[in-house]
Amino acid sequence: LIVTKAGRTFTGKKLLMATGVKDIMLPIPGFMEVWGISAIHCPYCHGYEYKGQKTAIMANAEIAIHLAGMVKNLTPDVTLLTNGTAMGLTEEQKAKLARHSIRVIEQPVAEIHTTGGQMSAIKFVDGSVESFSAAYVRLPFEHHTDIHAQLGLKIAYAGFAKGLIQVDEMYKTSVVGVFAAGDCCSPMRSIANAVAAGSFAGAAINSELLAETFTWSLNFRVSFRS
């Protein structure tokens, strides 16, 4: 049984969570103006537009190292910004960054200089200013709803999927009859991936419903998704 805020009720045999997530903006002057234009989240989505340009990365240690390798393949001038936080980089990670000429600036960011959404420079709290054309930023996020918590769905607590709903290869959650698809359960955030996941999850749900109705096993499984 599902009850909406408007008081409407719905019942069903299965539930598909496709509620997405909401990014939490950084409290840095100028950030809102550049977000989605020159402060970007994904090299696959935006890498070509800023190929060869001076680029910053703002993310935590694990994801920052991952992004650094991807972005370095697109531009020779990459700088990792810790924004004044302890990133917990290992000596091996620091050595890897140094080998690939990826600088690390540990000063907190004070302001982003921008014109019409296009980043021109980043100012740090010590007064120094560094020019950048773009910055890849891994923002914190929150779910649009707490229904996953009400249902007791398992959440990933580590890795790239940290904070997202855990699903198996059929997009089943930890609760029988509940599925999830899209950004609420995948770190690969794009419209294409969300649509594909929703389509697959819908087929998996239909397969279960048919099996329950006709008491036969359709064996609808795949091995290409891990």
DSSP 27-40: --TTHHHHBTTTEE
pLDDT per residue as tens digits for the range 70-106: 999 999 999 999 888 867 778 888 888 999 999 999 8
pLDDT per residue as tens digits for the range 115-128: 999 999 999 999 99
pLDDT band at 57 (very low <50, low <70, confident <90, very high): very high
Average pLDDT, the chain: 90
- Residue 55 pLDDT greater than 50, yes or no: yes
Q: Is the pTM of this model over 0.85?
A: no
Question: Which of 84-93, 165-174, 207-216 has the lowest average pLDDT?
Answer: 84-93
Angle at 173 between CA 172 and CA 174, to 5 degrees: 125
Mark 105-144 as b/e (b = at least 16 C-beta within 10 Å).
bebebbebbbeeeebeebbbeeeeebebbbbbbbbebebe
CA distance 32 to 144: 20
The dihedral of CA 95, 100, 103, 109: what is its sign?
Answer: negative
- Residue 224 pLDDT greater than 80, yes or no: no
Residue 112 amino acid letter: I
